[in-house]
Amino acid sequence: MSHNNSPLLQAINLKKYYSVKSGMFSPKQQVKSLDGVSFTLERGKTLAVVGESGCGKSTLGRLLTMIETPTAGEIYYQGQDILKHDPAAQKLRRQKIQIVFQNPYASLNPRKKVGDILEEPLIINTHLSRSERKERAQAIMDKVGLKTEHYDRYPHMFSGGQRQRIAIARGLMLNPEIMIADEPVSALDVSVRAQVLNLMMDLQQELGLSYVFISHDLSVVEHIADEVMVMYLGRCVEQGPKAEIFNNPRHPYTQALLSATPRLNPDARRERIKLTGELPSPLNPPQGCAFNARCRRAFDQCFEVKPALKKYHDQLIACFAVDREEGLLEAIKTPAAG
């Protein structure tokens, strides 16, 4: 917790709707890319946001870094509203929250040397002299495992893993407290993935960084997360501490995602749950629970009403089947007084 007792980052009911035209003569439709997502991020912790492509997780990353503005909802940094349009709020956002993107090939300017790429945020946001900027850049390069002689080279001279280190270094230049990492290792070779993840975990330890780690890959998340939020079609379906989500997944979607994830530990292997059916279109989401057509446990209520996120022990789950199960457990525990 921060000094003023509010969480480091708090998102409340974030929504992002886009209007799209599907055909020339059809009316505009609304796509609810993000439909009411809330979470808190504690200092020095990692919240992993997981789901298939199209679930809204990258949209969430863009809202948190203000690349896009939410349609509705609130974001607070240590209790301060950072969606306000005043210069102070904007400065706070730029300095405290940085993003590292999926593709280190696309996110680095090919015509700039590494040193210039790293110093750019300092030129825009600080009054450091040229030599101070260079010193800062080289110190950060050292932290992420790049050599001094890399300073004058261009991005194309580096491997994917090294480029992602450069991107992480750039994100660290302003000493942020929060790093939004949008699929930061999915474009990298498997052999390099662990190196970059370990680097991120070392930096977190050393600098007290907090991560929102966006990924479709649960095996990566298991490595790095403290808290996991599973998303499906713009909404959170299950959220809780990593151990709970991995050892006791309750939502049928989380169970299916996890059953498809390779586990290193053979004792932890699960039965395969095949996800059948297509991911529904966000243009035409199903009535009731968005997962109902692909769910093994769906019953009539699931096709009529959207389940709300409810707290069960340490987890938040949006599922009528889980609700029914919990209700039965309660009924067994507390026999009616006769």
Regarding whether 276 and 310 lie in a shared domain, the answer is yes
Candidate from 48-57, 81-90, 288-297 with smallest mean pLDDT:
81-90
Q: If pLDDT is split at 50, 70 and 90, which confidence band does 241 have?
A: very high
- What number is the average pLDDT over the span 30-47? 95
Q: What percent of the chain has pLDDT over 70?
A: 95
Tell me, yes or no, whether 263 and 143 share the same domain.
Answer: no
Q: What is the CATH number of the domain that holds 187?
A: 3.40.50.300
Burial class, 214, CB count within 10 angstroms (exposed 0-12 / middle 13-18 / buried 19+): buried
- Give residue 128's pLDDT: 95
179 plus 294 within the same structural domain: no
Answer yes or no: is pLDDT of 2 > 50.
no
Q: Is residue 281 located within the same domain as residue 178?
A: no
Task: Evaluate whether residue 60 is within a structural domain.
Answer: no
Secondary structure class of 223 (helix, strand, coil): helix
Where does residue 26 rank: exposed (0-12), middle (13-18), buried (19+ CB within 10 A)?
exposed
Mean pLDDT of 56-68: 92
Task: Answer whether 7's CB lies under 8 Å from 77's CB.
Answer: no
Same domain, 109 and 252: no
Same domain flag for 122 and 173: yes
Whose tokens are 């090294």? That residue is 162
Question: Quick one: average pLDDT of 326-337?
Answer: 75
Q: Verify that 42 and 175 share a domain, yes or no.
A: yes
Co-location of 186 and 159 in the same domain: yes
pLDDT score of 283: 83
Domain containing 257 equals: 234-338
Domain membership of residue 194 (yes or no) is yes
Entry field: residues in the chain: 338
Are the C-beta atoms of 128 and 118 separated by less than 8 Å?
A: no
Q: Starting from the edge strand earliest in sequence, which strands make up the sheet with 46-50, in order?
A: 97-100, 178-182, 210-215, 46-50, 227-232, 235-241, 315-317, 310-312
In-domain check, residue 123: yes
User: CB 190: neighbour CB atoms within 10 A?
Assistant: 7
Select the highest-mean-pLDDT range: 52-56, 95-99, 230-234, 282-286: 230-234
| Paired tokens of 262 | 């390779």
User: Is residue 5 a part of any domain in this protein?
Assistant: yes
Q: Which of 209, 227, 245 represents a domain boundary (last residue)?
A: 227
Specify whether 208 is located in the same domain as 282.
Answer: no
Residue 65: inside a domain? no
Among 227, 255, 283, identify where a domain stops. 227
Q: Does residue 185 share a domain with residue 83?
A: yes
**CA 151, 155, 160: angle at the middle one, nearest 5?**
115
Query: Tens digit of pLDDT for each residue in 106-141?
Result: 878 999 999 999 999 999 989 999 999 999 999 999
Report d(CA 235, CA 59) in Å as an integer: 12
In a domain, 64, yes or no: no
For range 227-243, the mean pLDDT: 97
Among 227, 248, 269, the domain-final residue is 227
62 belongs to a structural domain: no
**Helix, strand and coil in the chain, % to nearest 5:** 40, 20, 40
Question: What's the pLDDT tens digit per position in 140-168?
Answer: 999 999 999 999 999 999 999 999 999 99
**Residue 32 belongs to some domain of the structure:** yes
Q: Roughly how many angstroms between the first and final C-alpha of the chain, as a whole number?
A: 48
Over residues 15-38, mean pLDDT: 88
Cβ–Cβ < 8 Å for 65, 101? no
- Write down the pLDDT at residue 260: 79
**Same domain flag for 126 and 209:** yes
CA 197 to chain centre: 15
The number of domains in the chain is 2
Q: Does 159 share its domain with 97? A: yes
The closest alpha carbon to 105, from 159, 67, 153, belongs to 159
* pLDDT tens per residue across span 252-302: 999 999 987 776 565 655 667 777 777 888 888 899 999 999 999 999 999
Q: Collapsing DSSP states into helix, strand and coil, what is residue 14?
A: strand
Q: pLDDT averaged over the chain?
A: 90
